[in-house]
Structure 1
Amino acid sequence: MKMKPVLTATLTTLCLAPLAQAEQIRVGFATEPYPPFATPDASGELHGWEVDITRAICEAAELDCRIVTTSWDGLIPALTGDKIDFIAASLSITDKRRETIAFSDKYYQTPASLAAAQGAALEPTPEGLAGKTLGVQSASIHQAYAQAHFPAATLREYQTQDEANQDLFAGRLDATLADRLIVEQFLDSRQGQLCCEMQGNVAHDPGTLGEGIGFGIRQDDDALRERLNAAIAEVRADGTYDAITERYFDFDIYGDADS
């Protein structure tokens, strides 16, 4: 039996866009660190690419956005329960999630990749992972992908990707599946360099991996969705998006403009 996620919302002192007389909006980020997208400092204040991009989009939309943090699997319940107004936590746009919430246009898109022990030579395919133990973050698109495409693998769920990485390092997993940027960051760490290596990207499946990353919004909040969409387009067009991205990445994280 699984316990229902407990909402541990914390209003941080960080204002994403402190505009005079702007409409105040509560933005949900995950409590769990997700570098380089959103990571808390010693005081609990979040920093990272996704925080900066959200700040810019809020400013363009003339919204006074205040961060509220909760556990990853508590974000959608917090949104539907009116404890936050939209989610900015690398939430993939999927048909399954559209049954519960709506989405803005995408604001980035990256592939899913497999990491395993050095020399394992695992193919990121159903045949390559048959009989293997695969670690995935609970309630993530990577868990959904693994359930759909790797039926012969044994799945082990974790609250955070870092926990899965630690078990991979300790030899308790054969592989882990996650966003490529997160996999690469782990492989660049001291532990990752000692134990593991990239095994490649899985075949893309929009049904489980989604259509990119968008802001999660309540289904009846068309006005907010339209404001965010207009702001995403604005920061993409005026160079703000690229200027922020260049501080973190050496490639176009937005992905295929047609996807």
Structure 2
Amino acid sequence: MTRQLTLGTIATLLALGGAAQAQETTYTVALDGTFAPHAMPALSGGIEGFNVDLANEIGERLGVSMDIVATQFSGILPGLAAGTYDFVVAPVTITEERAGNLLFSEGYLNTDFQFVVKAGTEEITSLEELSGKTIAVNKGSVYDSWAREKAEEIGWIVESYGTNSDAVQAVVSDRAFANVAGNTVSAWAVKQNPAIELSYLYSTGLVWGMPFKKGDEALRDKVETVIECLKLDGTMAALSEKWFGVTPASGSAAVTPQPGFGQPGFEGYAMDDHTPGCD
């Protein structure tokens, strides 16, 4: 009996120890804490936003703790390469150049350009309809350079402002006809300000994914399995509605799992026969 109790006690301790070890697993992940509405300071302290919620949801589904580090975007990808972070939960556009140096999950949000106009403005259905109009942009942003590259072709006038908030205010005060920025940032601005509304969406064909270190396919695949589940069970759509005020369109990255692991068409993509789903 003593031997049985001893063996039973050992087995119990081993089981408890294994459970405790699993619960103690922590992933250190990084994002830009100033990129609203993806991550931004919360009034109650700390940070909040779409990607903060997404990171915590991934941690909960995996049964691990997430140490979310808010830092400047310029240092995030170098920090990943140096091993400071296990992976990155900031929105990062998947490009050929980046896919050559990083391992990406499949895309979870489309990254497009969206125009914002004054509420009640007639619907814009093409860029050509903006000919002769003044377009406000955040100085030095990708939207600034894109708008200026298109200026001669479209015939619009580009005015740059120190922040995107200032560019939006130019629309409200009639100093500009429209503001162009990222689709999620524009949706957030509209959600906060009833004086403006979303207008023409320019599709780039690009998506945001989560970067991992090259060679870390095991972790990438584990996290991506959760991302696929979040798309299928409606969690990703619910987060979009919460933070952007937008229901993702059918076929968009937020609701459409990709076959295999990684983003099809980019380096690091691995085709396999796993079936996306929720365990």
* 1:222 and 2:221 matched: no
Match of 1:92 in 2: 93
- Identity percentage over the alignment? 21
Match of 2:49 in 1: 48
Deviation at 1:215, TM superposition (A): 1.0
Mean alpha-carbon deviation: is it higher for 106-115 or for 148-157? 148-157
Task: Output one character per residue of 1:168-187: Cα deviation in whole Å (capped at 9) or x when no partner.
Answer: 44566553222334323323
Residues in 1 aligned to 2:225 and 2:139: alpha-carbon distance in whole angstroms: 32
Deviation at 1:230, TM superposition (A): 1.9
Structure 1 25/256 Cα, relative in aligned 2: closer, same or farther at 3 Å? closer
RMSD value over aligned CA atoms? 3.8
Task: Output one character per residue of 1:88-131: Cα deviation in whole Å (capped at 9) or x when no partner.
Answer: 22323233432443311122336431123568767652673578
Residues in 2 aligned to 1:198 and 1:243: alpha-carbon distance in whole angstroms: 19
Gaps of 5+ in 1: 1-17
Q: Which runs of structure 2 are paired with 1:56-205 in the superposition (5 Å)? A: 56-109=57-110, 111-117=112-118, 125=127, 128=130, 132-136=134-138, 142=143, 145-146=146-147, 149=150, 154=158, 156=160, 161-169=164-172, 173-190=176-193, 193=195, 196-202=196-202, 204-205=203-204
Is the Cα contact below 8 Å between 1:126 and 1:149 reproduced in 2? no
Residues in 1 aligned to 2:246 and 2:33: alpha-carbon distance in whole angstroms: 27
Match of 2:247 in 1: 251
Match of 1:25 in 2: 27
Mean alpha-carbon deviation: is it higher for 25-34 or for 146-155? 146-155
Number of residue pairs aligned between Structure 1 and Structure 2: 230
Task: Output one character per residue of 1:38-71: Cα deviation in whole Å (capped at 9) or x when no partner.
Answer: 3321353222333222212123334422111112
Is the Cα contact below 8 Å between 2:117 and 2:197 reproduced in 1? yes
Is the Cα contact below 8 Å between 2:88 and 2:210 reproduced in 1? yes
Structure 1 126/86 Cα, relative in aligned 2: closer, same or farther at 3 Å? farther
Instruction: Looking at secondary structure, tell me which structure has more helix per residue.
Output: 2
Residues in 2 aligned to 1:75 and 1:172: alpha-carbon distance in whole angstroms: 36
Match of 1:231 in 2: 226
Is the Cα contact below 8 Å between 1:61 and 1:230 reproduced in 2? no
Deviation at 1:225, TM superposition (A): 1.3
The structure with the largest alpha-carbon Rg is: 2
Is the Cα contact below 8 Å between 1:137 and 1:164 reproduced in 2? no
Match of 2:40 in 1: 39
Structure 1 165/134 Cα, relative in aligned 2: closer, same or farther at 3 Å? closer
Residues in 2 aligned to 1:102 and 1:115: alpha-carbon distance in whole angstroms: 34
Mean alpha-carbon deviation: is it higher for 213-222 or for 247-256? 247-256
SS at match of 2:188: helix
Residues in 1 aligned to 2:174 and 2:79: alpha-carbon distance in whole angstroms: 35
Equivalent position amino acid for 1:199 in 2: S
Instruction: Looking at secondary structure, tell me which structure has more strand per residue.
Output: 1
Task: Give TM-score, length-normalised by structure 2.
Answer: 0.63
Task: Output one character per residue of 1:106-163: Cα deviation in whole Å (capped at 9) or x when no partner.
Answer: 22336431123568767652673578444147565x45754665566547375x6435
Residues in 1 aligned to 2:82 and 2:175: alpha-carbon distance in whole angstroms: 37
Match of 1:7 in 2: none
Equivalent position amino acid for 2:204 in 1: D
Is the Cα contact below 8 Å between 1:124 and 1:199 reproduced in 2? no
